[in-house]
Structure 1
Amino acid sequence: MKKGYQVALLLAFGALFAAFAFNPPKTSGDWASWVQAWGSIAAICAAIWIAYDQHAKVREQQASARHDEVRNFLFGIREELHINWVVYMQTVGDAVQAVKDNAAVDVTWPVPENPFKVYASTVGLIGRVPDDLIRKQIVATYVVAGGLMLTWKMHNTMRAARDAEAELVEEMDGTRPNGTWVVLQRDLTRYSQQLRKHQNEAEAMIGIAVDLIDTYLKKNPASSV
Protein backbone atom coordinates (compact mmCIF):
# COMPACT_ATOMS: atom_id res chain seq x y z
CA MET A 1 0.00 0.00 0.00
CA LYS A 2 1.29 3.43 -0.85
CA LYS A 3 2.71 5.39 2.07
CA GLY A 4 0.37 8.34 1.51
CA TYR A 5 -2.66 6.13 1.94
CA GLN A 6 -1.18 4.56 5.06
CA VAL A 7 -0.60 7.96 6.68
CA ALA A 8 -4.08 9.16 5.75
CA LEU A 9 -5.71 6.06 7.21
CA LEU A 10 -3.67 6.29 10.42
CA LEU A 11 -4.70 9.91 10.85
CA ALA A 12 -8.33 9.00 10.21
CA PHE A 13 -8.24 6.16 12.72
CA GLY A 14 -6.42 8.37 15.25
CA ALA A 15 -9.00 11.11 14.94
CA LEU A 16 -11.82 8.61 15.26
CA PHE A 17 -10.27 6.99 18.34
CA ALA A 18 -9.76 10.40 19.93
CA ALA A 19 -13.35 11.37 19.24
CA PHE A 20 -14.54 8.03 20.63
CA ALA A 21 -12.39 8.43 23.76
CA PHE A 22 -13.60 11.95 24.50
CA ASN A 23 -17.20 11.36 23.47
CA PRO A 24 -18.09 7.78 24.41
CA PRO A 25 -21.54 6.60 23.28
CA LYS A 26 -24.24 6.80 25.91
CA THR A 27 -27.40 5.89 24.11
CA SER A 28 -28.36 3.30 21.49
CA GLY A 29 -28.47 6.10 18.92
CA ASP A 30 -24.90 7.07 19.78
CA TRP A 31 -23.79 3.47 19.40
CA ALA A 32 -25.49 3.24 16.02
CA SER A 33 -23.65 6.36 14.87
CA TRP A 34 -20.33 5.03 16.04
CA VAL A 35 -20.93 1.65 14.36
CA GLN A 36 -21.76 3.48 11.15
CA ALA A 37 -18.60 5.58 11.42
CA TRP A 38 -16.38 2.56 12.04
CA GLY A 39 -18.09 0.72 9.19
CA SER A 40 -17.43 3.61 6.85
CA ILE A 41 -13.75 3.63 7.76
CA ALA A 42 -13.55 -0.13 7.28
CA ALA A 43 -15.22 0.17 3.88
CA ILE A 44 -12.77 2.86 2.82
CA CYS A 45 -9.84 0.71 3.96
CA ALA A 46 -11.19 -2.28 2.05
CA ALA A 47 -11.70 -0.23 -1.12
CA ILE A 48 -8.18 1.20 -0.91
CA TRP A 49 -6.67 -2.23 -0.29
CA ILE A 50 -8.57 -3.83 -3.18
CA ALA A 51 -7.51 -1.06 -5.55
CA TYR A 52 -3.89 -1.36 -4.44
CA ASP A 53 -3.93 -5.14 -4.66
CA GLN A 54 -5.33 -5.04 -8.19
CA HIS A 55 -2.73 -2.46 -9.20
CA ALA A 56 0.06 -4.60 -7.72
CA LYS A 57 -1.19 -7.65 -9.61
CA VAL A 58 -1.30 -5.69 -12.87
CA ARG A 59 2.27 -4.50 -12.32
CA GLU A 60 3.37 -8.04 -11.52
CA GLN A 61 1.69 -9.36 -14.67
CA GLN A 62 3.33 -6.63 -16.75
CA ALA A 63 6.75 -7.43 -15.28
CA SER A 64 6.22 -11.13 -15.98
CA ALA A 65 5.16 -10.36 -19.55
CA ARG A 66 8.31 -8.27 -20.11
CA HIS A 67 10.42 -11.04 -18.60
CA ASP A 68 8.92 -13.67 -20.90
CA GLU A 69 9.20 -11.33 -23.87
CA VAL A 70 12.95 -11.03 -23.27
CA ARG A 71 13.25 -14.81 -22.88
CA ASN A 72 11.37 -15.41 -26.13
CA PHE A 73 13.57 -12.87 -27.93
CA LEU A 74 16.78 -14.47 -26.66
CA PHE A 75 15.55 -17.96 -27.45
CA GLY A 76 14.70 -16.90 -31.00
CA ILE A 77 18.15 -15.33 -31.44
CA ARG A 78 19.82 -18.40 -30.00
CA GLU A 79 18.01 -20.75 -32.36
CA GLU A 80 18.63 -18.56 -35.40
CA LEU A 81 22.37 -18.37 -34.75
CA HIS A 82 22.71 -22.05 -33.89
CA ILE A 83 20.62 -23.48 -36.72
CA ASN A 84 22.04 -21.12 -39.36
CA TRP A 85 25.56 -22.08 -38.36
CA VAL A 86 24.84 -25.81 -38.42
CA VAL A 87 23.35 -25.48 -41.91
CA TYR A 88 26.21 -23.24 -43.04
CA MET A 89 28.88 -25.69 -41.90
CA GLN A 90 27.11 -28.60 -43.55
CA THR A 91 26.64 -26.64 -46.77
CA VAL A 92 30.03 -25.01 -47.22
CA GLY A 93 31.82 -24.38 -43.92
CA ASP A 94 33.33 -27.86 -43.60
CA ALA A 95 34.64 -27.59 -47.16
CA VAL A 96 36.34 -24.28 -46.30
CA GLN A 97 37.98 -25.82 -43.24
CA ALA A 98 39.26 -28.74 -45.31
CA VAL A 99 41.17 -26.51 -47.74
CA LYS A 100 44.91 -26.26 -47.08
CA ASP A 101 46.50 -22.92 -46.23
CA ASN A 102 48.30 -22.63 -49.56
CA ALA A 103 45.22 -23.47 -51.65
CA ALA A 104 42.18 -21.54 -52.79
CA VAL A 105 38.67 -22.20 -51.56
CA ASP A 106 37.46 -23.45 -54.89
CA VAL A 107 33.74 -23.37 -54.20
CA THR A 108 31.00 -20.79 -54.64
CA TRP A 109 28.33 -20.31 -52.00
CA PRO A 110 25.17 -18.43 -53.00
CA VAL A 111 24.86 -16.01 -50.09
CA PRO A 112 21.31 -15.81 -48.68
CA GLU A 113 19.72 -12.40 -49.10
CA ASN A 114 18.18 -12.30 -45.63
CA PRO A 115 19.62 -15.03 -43.40
CA PHE A 116 18.84 -13.25 -40.11
CA LYS A 117 15.07 -12.82 -40.22
CA VAL A 118 14.55 -13.25 -36.47
CA TYR A 119 17.12 -10.61 -35.57
CA ALA A 120 15.84 -8.20 -38.22
CA SER A 121 12.25 -8.46 -37.03
CA THR A 122 12.92 -8.35 -33.26
CA VAL A 123 16.03 -6.18 -32.89
CA GLY A 124 13.93 -3.50 -31.19
CA LEU A 125 13.65 -5.78 -28.16
CA ILE A 126 17.38 -5.99 -27.55
CA GLY A 127 17.31 -2.89 -25.37
CA ARG A 128 15.07 -4.76 -22.90
CA VAL A 129 17.67 -7.43 -22.25
CA PRO A 130 18.98 -6.58 -18.75
CA ASP A 131 22.40 -8.18 -19.27
CA ASP A 132 24.87 -5.74 -20.87
CA LEU A 133 27.29 -8.49 -21.89
CA ILE A 134 24.61 -10.45 -23.75
CA ARG A 135 23.36 -7.34 -25.57
CA LYS A 136 26.85 -6.42 -26.75
CA GLN A 137 27.66 -10.01 -27.71
CA ILE A 138 24.50 -10.37 -29.80
CA VAL A 139 25.17 -7.16 -31.72
CA ALA A 140 28.84 -8.02 -32.24
CA THR A 141 27.97 -11.56 -33.37
CA TYR A 142 25.56 -10.37 -36.05
CA VAL A 143 28.09 -7.79 -37.23
CA VAL A 144 30.76 -10.50 -37.62
CA ALA A 145 28.30 -12.89 -39.27
CA GLY A 146 27.26 -10.14 -41.68
CA GLY A 147 30.92 -9.51 -42.44
CA LEU A 148 31.32 -13.18 -43.32
CA MET A 149 28.45 -12.84 -45.81
CA LEU A 150 30.23 -9.90 -47.46
CA THR A 151 33.49 -11.84 -47.58
CA TRP A 152 31.70 -14.66 -49.36
CA LYS A 153 30.24 -12.26 -51.92
CA MET A 154 33.72 -10.95 -52.71
CA HIS A 155 35.08 -14.49 -52.87
CA ASN A 156 32.33 -15.51 -55.29
CA THR A 157 33.12 -12.51 -57.50
CA MET A 158 36.85 -13.29 -57.53
CA ARG A 159 36.23 -16.96 -58.32
CA ALA A 160 33.86 -16.07 -61.16
CA ALA A 161 36.48 -13.70 -62.60
CA ARG A 162 39.13 -16.41 -62.46
CA ASP A 163 36.82 -18.98 -64.04
CA ALA A 164 36.08 -16.56 -66.88
CA GLU A 165 39.72 -16.91 -67.92
CA ALA A 166 41.24 -20.00 -69.50
CA GLU A 167 43.93 -21.62 -67.38
CA LEU A 168 46.02 -22.37 -70.47
CA VAL A 169 46.58 -20.40 -73.66
CA GLU A 170 46.92 -22.21 -76.98
CA GLU A 171 49.95 -21.25 -79.05
CA MET A 172 51.46 -22.57 -82.24
CA ASP A 173 54.03 -24.65 -80.35
CA GLY A 174 51.60 -25.87 -77.72
CA THR A 175 50.06 -24.35 -74.61
CA ARG A 176 51.31 -22.06 -71.90
CA PRO A 177 49.84 -20.82 -68.58
CA ASN A 178 47.52 -17.86 -68.94
CA GLY A 179 49.17 -15.01 -67.05
CA THR A 180 45.84 -13.41 -66.21
CA TRP A 181 44.49 -16.67 -64.81
CA VAL A 182 47.64 -17.13 -62.75
CA VAL A 183 47.26 -13.69 -61.16
CA LEU A 184 43.55 -14.25 -60.45
CA GLN A 185 44.29 -17.65 -58.95
CA ARG A 186 46.98 -16.15 -56.73
CA ASP A 187 44.60 -13.43 -55.53
CA LEU A 188 41.83 -15.97 -54.89
CA THR A 189 44.21 -18.11 -52.86
CA ARG A 190 45.22 -15.15 -50.71
CA TYR A 191 41.64 -14.07 -50.21
CA SER A 192 40.70 -17.61 -49.22
CA GLN A 193 42.86 -17.11 -46.13
CA GLN A 194 40.71 -14.12 -45.24
CA LEU A 195 37.57 -16.15 -45.81
CA ARG A 196 38.74 -18.89 -43.45
CA LYS A 197 39.72 -16.28 -40.87
CA HIS A 198 36.29 -14.64 -40.99
CA GLN A 199 34.61 -18.04 -40.76
CA ASN A 200 36.61 -18.92 -37.64
CA GLU A 201 35.77 -15.56 -36.07
CA ALA A 202 32.07 -16.02 -36.79
CA GLU A 203 32.11 -19.52 -35.34
CA ALA A 204 33.75 -18.28 -32.13
CA MET A 205 31.36 -15.34 -31.76
CA ILE A 206 28.29 -17.51 -32.32
CA GLY A 207 29.55 -20.05 -29.80
CA ILE A 208 30.00 -17.34 -27.16
CA ALA A 209 26.58 -15.80 -27.86
CA VAL A 210 24.81 -19.17 -27.66
CA ASP A 211 26.56 -20.06 -24.39
CA LEU A 212 25.70 -16.70 -22.81
CA ILE A 213 22.06 -16.98 -23.85
CA ASP A 214 21.81 -20.58 -22.60
CA THR A 215 23.20 -19.51 -19.23
CA TYR A 216 20.75 -16.59 -18.99
CA LEU A 217 17.74 -18.73 -19.92
CA LYS A 218 18.74 -21.34 -17.34
CA LYS A 219 19.08 -18.73 -14.57
CA ASN A 220 15.88 -16.92 -15.59
CA PRO A 221 13.13 -19.50 -16.17
CA ALA A 222 9.81 -18.61 -17.75
CA SER A 223 7.32 -16.77 -15.57
CA SER A 224 4.62 -18.83 -13.89
CA VAL A 225 2.22 -15.87 -13.65
Structure 2
Amino acid sequence: MNKAFRDTAGGIAIAIALLAAGYFLGTFHTHPLTKAADFPAWVQAIGSIVAIFAAIGISYTQQRNAIKRESRKVIDENLYTVKSIRDELAVLSEGFELHVGKEIRSLKRGDILLIEWNPAERPFVVYEACASQLGKIDDDRLRKNIIYAFAQARGLVLSIRTNTRLIERLDAAQASPIVPGDERRQQSIDVCEDGLKSYAMRIKLAYARAKATEIEFNAAVGSYLERNAVE
Protein backbone atom coordinates (compact mmCIF):
# COMPACT_ATOMS: atom_id res chain seq x y z
CA MET A 1 0.00 0.00 0.00
CA ASN A 2 1.66 3.24 -1.11
CA LYS A 3 1.63 6.49 0.82
CA ALA A 4 -0.75 8.31 -1.57
CA PHE A 5 -3.34 5.56 -1.21
CA ARG A 6 -3.03 5.53 2.57
CA ASP A 7 -3.40 9.31 2.74
CA THR A 8 -6.50 9.22 0.53
CA ALA A 9 -8.08 6.35 2.48
CA GLY A 10 -7.34 8.07 5.78
CA GLY A 11 -8.90 11.31 4.56
CA ILE A 12 -12.05 9.50 3.37
CA ALA A 13 -12.38 7.69 6.71
CA ILE A 14 -12.10 10.94 8.66
CA ALA A 15 -14.67 12.61 6.41
CA ILE A 16 -17.12 9.73 6.91
CA ALA A 17 -16.61 9.86 10.67
CA LEU A 18 -17.24 13.59 10.76
CA LEU A 19 -20.38 13.22 8.64
CA ALA A 20 -21.65 10.45 10.90
CA ALA A 21 -20.93 12.49 14.00
CA GLY A 22 -22.67 15.51 12.48
CA TYR A 23 -25.67 13.40 11.57
CA PHE A 24 -26.07 11.98 15.08
CA LEU A 25 -25.55 15.36 16.72
CA GLY A 26 -28.13 16.91 14.40
CA THR A 27 -30.56 14.12 15.14
CA PHE A 28 -30.01 14.56 18.88
CA HIS A 29 -30.67 18.29 18.52
CA THR A 30 -33.91 17.80 16.58
CA HIS A 31 -35.04 14.72 18.53
CA PRO A 32 -33.68 15.12 22.05
CA LEU A 33 -33.79 12.24 24.54
CA THR A 34 -37.17 12.62 26.31
CA LYS A 35 -38.28 9.03 26.99
CA ALA A 36 -36.52 6.15 28.72
CA ALA A 37 -37.37 3.97 25.76
CA ASP A 38 -35.13 6.09 23.54
CA PHE A 39 -32.10 5.58 25.77
CA PRO A 40 -30.84 2.23 24.34
CA ALA A 41 -31.01 3.57 20.78
CA TRP A 42 -28.97 6.63 21.68
CA VAL A 43 -26.44 4.53 23.58
CA GLN A 44 -26.04 2.40 20.47
CA ALA A 45 -25.67 5.49 18.29
CA ILE A 46 -23.03 7.01 20.55
CA GLY A 47 -21.24 3.68 20.69
CA SER A 48 -21.18 3.59 16.91
CA ILE A 49 -19.58 7.02 16.79
CA VAL A 50 -16.96 6.00 19.33
CA ALA A 51 -16.26 2.84 17.33
CA ILE A 52 -15.80 4.85 14.14
CA PHE A 53 -13.31 7.21 15.79
CA ALA A 54 -11.50 4.27 17.37
CA ALA A 55 -11.20 2.62 13.96
CA ILE A 56 -9.84 5.87 12.51
CA GLY A 57 -7.35 6.11 15.37
CA ILE A 58 -6.16 2.55 14.78
CA SER A 59 -5.92 3.14 11.02
CA TYR A 60 -3.95 6.34 11.55
CA THR A 61 -1.55 4.62 13.96
CA GLN A 62 -1.01 1.73 11.56
CA GLN A 63 -0.42 4.15 8.70
CA ARG A 64 2.06 6.18 10.71
CA ASN A 65 3.93 3.04 11.79
CA ALA A 66 4.04 1.78 8.20
CA ILE A 67 5.53 5.09 7.05
CA LYS A 68 8.11 4.92 9.83
CA ARG A 69 9.05 1.36 8.87
CA GLU A 70 9.46 2.30 5.21
CA SER A 71 11.54 5.33 6.15
CA ARG A 72 13.70 3.25 8.49
CA LYS A 73 14.18 0.63 5.77
CA VAL A 74 15.54 3.28 3.38
CA ILE A 75 17.80 4.68 6.10
CA ASP A 76 19.11 1.20 6.97
CA GLU A 77 19.88 0.51 3.30
CA ASN A 78 21.77 3.81 3.09
CA LEU A 79 23.68 3.00 6.26
CA TYR A 80 24.68 -0.36 4.82
CA THR A 81 25.86 1.34 1.63
CA VAL A 82 27.84 4.01 3.46
CA LYS A 83 29.50 1.52 5.82
CA SER A 84 30.45 -0.77 2.93
CA ILE A 85 31.98 2.08 0.95
CA ARG A 86 33.80 3.34 4.04
CA ASP A 87 35.28 -0.10 4.70
CA GLU A 88 36.44 -0.51 1.10
CA LEU A 89 38.20 2.86 1.14
CA ALA A 90 39.82 1.96 4.47
CA VAL A 91 41.17 -1.30 3.00
CA LEU A 92 42.50 0.55 -0.06
CA SER A 93 44.16 3.13 2.16
CA GLU A 94 45.81 0.41 4.25
CA GLY A 95 47.09 -1.22 1.06
CA PHE A 96 48.68 2.01 -0.11
CA GLU A 97 50.30 2.58 3.24
CA LEU A 98 51.66 -0.96 3.28
CA HIS A 99 53.12 -0.89 -0.24
CA VAL A 100 54.08 2.71 -1.04
CA GLY A 101 52.92 5.12 1.68
CA LYS A 102 56.23 5.61 3.46
CA GLU A 103 58.19 5.86 0.21
CA ILE A 104 55.78 8.44 -1.26
CA ARG A 105 55.90 10.63 1.84
CA SER A 106 59.72 10.64 1.82
CA LEU A 107 60.01 11.69 -1.83
CA LYS A 108 61.98 14.85 -2.59
CA ARG A 109 62.31 16.76 -5.83
CA GLY A 110 64.56 14.82 -8.16
CA ASP A 111 63.78 11.47 -6.52
CA ILE A 112 62.33 8.45 -8.29
CA LEU A 113 59.70 6.19 -6.77
CA LEU A 114 61.49 2.92 -7.48
CA ILE A 115 58.68 0.62 -6.40
CA GLU A 116 56.88 -1.69 -8.78
CA TRP A 117 53.37 -2.31 -7.51
CA ASN A 118 50.27 -3.19 -9.46
CA PRO A 119 47.06 -2.63 -7.47
CA ALA A 120 44.13 -4.95 -8.14
CA GLU A 121 42.54 -4.62 -11.56
CA ARG A 122 39.21 -3.75 -9.94
CA PRO A 123 40.03 -2.09 -6.62
CA PHE A 124 36.60 -0.42 -6.29
CA VAL A 125 34.24 -3.40 -6.48
CA VAL A 126 32.04 -2.26 -3.58
CA TYR A 127 31.87 1.35 -4.74
CA GLU A 128 30.89 0.30 -8.26
CA ALA A 129 28.22 -2.06 -6.92
CA CYS A 130 26.76 0.67 -4.69
CA ALA A 131 27.00 3.51 -7.20
CA SER A 132 23.28 3.34 -8.02
CA GLN A 133 22.46 3.78 -4.31
CA LEU A 134 24.38 7.02 -3.87
CA GLY A 135 21.50 9.16 -5.10
CA LYS A 136 19.31 7.80 -2.30
CA ILE A 137 21.64 9.06 0.43
CA ASP A 138 19.92 12.15 1.82
CA ASP A 139 23.13 14.02 2.60
CA ASP A 140 24.62 16.25 -0.11
CA ARG A 141 27.91 16.69 1.71
CA LEU A 142 28.40 12.96 2.18
CA ARG A 143 27.52 12.11 -1.43
CA LYS A 144 30.04 14.62 -2.72
CA ASN A 145 32.68 13.35 -0.29
CA ILE A 146 32.14 9.75 -1.39
CA ILE A 147 32.44 10.60 -5.09
CA TYR A 148 35.43 12.88 -4.57
CA ALA A 149 37.24 10.40 -2.29
CA PHE A 150 36.95 7.58 -4.80
CA ALA A 151 37.88 9.86 -7.69
CA GLN A 152 41.07 10.77 -5.81
CA ALA A 153 41.75 7.11 -4.97
CA ARG A 154 41.19 6.06 -8.59
CA GLY A 155 43.60 8.74 -9.79
CA LEU A 156 46.23 7.57 -7.32
CA VAL A 157 45.83 3.94 -8.42
CA LEU A 158 46.31 4.93 -12.07
CA SER A 159 49.37 7.00 -11.13
CA ILE A 160 50.99 4.04 -9.34
CA ARG A 161 50.30 1.78 -12.32
CA THR A 162 51.79 4.34 -14.70
CA ASN A 163 54.86 4.71 -12.49
CA THR A 164 55.29 0.93 -12.54
CA ARG A 165 55.15 0.92 -16.35
CA LEU A 166 57.80 3.66 -16.47
CA ILE A 167 60.07 1.66 -14.16
CA GLU A 168 59.66 -1.37 -16.41
CA ARG A 169 60.75 0.76 -19.39
CA LEU A 170 63.74 2.01 -17.40
CA ASP A 171 64.69 -1.57 -16.49
CA ALA A 172 64.41 -2.60 -20.12
CA ALA A 173 66.60 0.31 -21.24
CA GLN A 174 69.23 -0.44 -18.63
CA ALA A 175 69.18 -4.13 -19.58
CA SER A 176 69.75 -3.41 -23.27
CA PRO A 177 73.23 -4.23 -24.58
CA ILE A 178 75.89 -1.55 -24.61
CA VAL A 179 77.01 -0.72 -28.13
CA PRO A 180 80.20 1.33 -28.35
CA GLY A 181 79.55 4.70 -29.96
CA ASP A 182 75.77 4.28 -29.82
CA GLU A 183 74.22 6.85 -27.48
CA ARG A 184 70.62 5.72 -27.93
CA ARG A 185 70.75 3.41 -24.93
CA GLN A 186 71.83 6.19 -22.56
CA GLN A 187 69.36 8.62 -24.12
CA SER A 188 66.56 6.14 -23.51
CA ILE A 189 67.67 5.73 -19.88
CA ASP A 190 67.83 9.51 -19.39
CA VAL A 191 64.31 9.97 -20.81
CA CYS A 192 62.89 7.29 -18.51
CA GLU A 193 64.62 8.73 -15.44
CA ASP A 194 63.48 12.29 -16.20
CA GLY A 195 59.91 11.04 -16.65
CA LEU A 196 60.03 9.14 -13.37
CA LYS A 197 61.42 12.14 -11.48
CA SER A 198 58.64 14.36 -12.78
CA TYR A 199 56.00 11.73 -12.14
CA ALA A 200 57.19 11.15 -8.57
CA MET A 201 56.19 14.69 -7.60
CA ARG A 202 52.78 14.21 -9.20
CA ILE A 203 52.27 11.03 -7.20
CA LYS A 204 53.28 12.75 -3.97
CA LEU A 205 50.79 15.56 -4.62
CA ALA A 206 48.02 13.10 -5.55
CA TYR A 207 48.76 11.08 -2.41
CA ALA A 208 48.54 14.18 -0.19
CA ARG A 209 45.22 15.18 -1.76
CA ALA A 210 43.84 11.66 -1.39
CA LYS A 211 44.77 11.54 2.31
CA ALA A 212 43.19 14.94 2.96
CA THR A 213 40.04 13.85 1.13
CA GLU A 214 39.97 10.62 3.12
CA ILE A 215 39.94 12.60 6.38
CA GLU A 216 37.00 14.73 5.17
CA PHE A 217 35.24 11.60 3.94
CA ASN A 218 35.59 9.80 7.29
CA ALA A 219 34.31 12.87 9.14
CA ALA A 220 31.25 13.08 6.88
CA VAL A 221 30.59 9.35 7.27
CA GLY A 222 30.91 9.53 11.06
CA SER A 223 28.47 12.43 11.22
CA TYR A 224 25.98 10.63 8.98
CA LEU A 225 26.15 7.36 10.94
CA GLU A 226 25.71 9.15 14.25
CA ARG A 227 22.76 11.16 12.96
CA ASN A 228 20.98 8.10 11.59
CA ALA A 229 21.81 5.60 14.33
CA VAL A 230 18.93 3.47 15.59
CA GLU A 231 17.46 5.09 18.68
TM-score where L is the length of structure 2: 0.84
Q: Aligned partners of 1:14 and 1:170: how far apart in 2? A: 107
Where do residues 149-168 of structure 1 align in structure 2 (5 Å cutoff)? 149-166=157-174
Q: Aligned with 2:119: secondary structure?
A: coil
Say which of 63, 68, 76 aligns to 1:68: 76
Give the structure 1 partner of residue 103 of structure 2: 95
Say which of 109, 112, 121 aligns to 1:113: 121
Give the structure 2 partner of residue 143 of structure 1: 151
Give the structure 1 partner of residue 89 of structure 2: 81
* Offset of residue 57 of structure 1: 0.5
* Offset of residue 83 of structure 1: 2.9
Q: Aligned partners of 1:119 and 1:134: how far apart in 2? A: 14
Q: Aligned partners of 1:70 and 1:202: how far apart in 2? A: 24
Specify every segment of 5 or more residues in structure 1 that has no aligned partner in the other structure, as ranges: none
Specify every segment of 5 or more residues in structure 2 that has no aligned partner in the other structure, as ranges: 1-6
Q: Aligned partners of 2:184 and 2:84: how far apart in 1? A: 55
Q: Aligned partners of 1:189 and 1:158: how far apart in 2? A: 10
**4+ residue segments displaced more than 6 Å:** none
Pick the structure with more helix per residue: 2
For the aligned residue pairs, the C-alpha RMSD in angstroms reads 2.6
Which one has more relative contact order, counting CA pairs under 8 Å at least 6 apart?
Answer: 1
Q: Aligned with 2:55: secondary structure?
A: helix
- Range 7-16 or range 101-110, more displaced: 7-16
1:123-166 CA-to-partner distances (Å, cap 9, x unmatched) read 22211222211111111111111111111221111111111012
Give the structure 1 partner of residue 57 of structure 2: 49
Q: Aligned with 1:178: secondary structure?
A: helix
Give the structure 1 partner of residue 229 of structure 2: 222
Q: Aligned partners of 1:109 and 1:151: how far apart in 2? A: 11
TM-score where L is the length of structure 1: 0.86
Give the structure 2 partner of residue 39 of structure 1: 47
Q: Aligned partners of 1:71 and 1:168: how far apart in 2? A: 55
Q: Aligned partners of 1:168 and 1:64: how far apart in 2? A: 65
1:70-125 CA-to-partner distances (Å, cap 9, x unmatched) read 22222222222223212211221212222332111111111211222221121222
Q: Please say if residues 168 and 176 of structure 1, whose CA atoms lie closer than 8 Å, have aligned partners that are also in contact.
A: no
* Offset of residue 198 of structure 1: 1.4
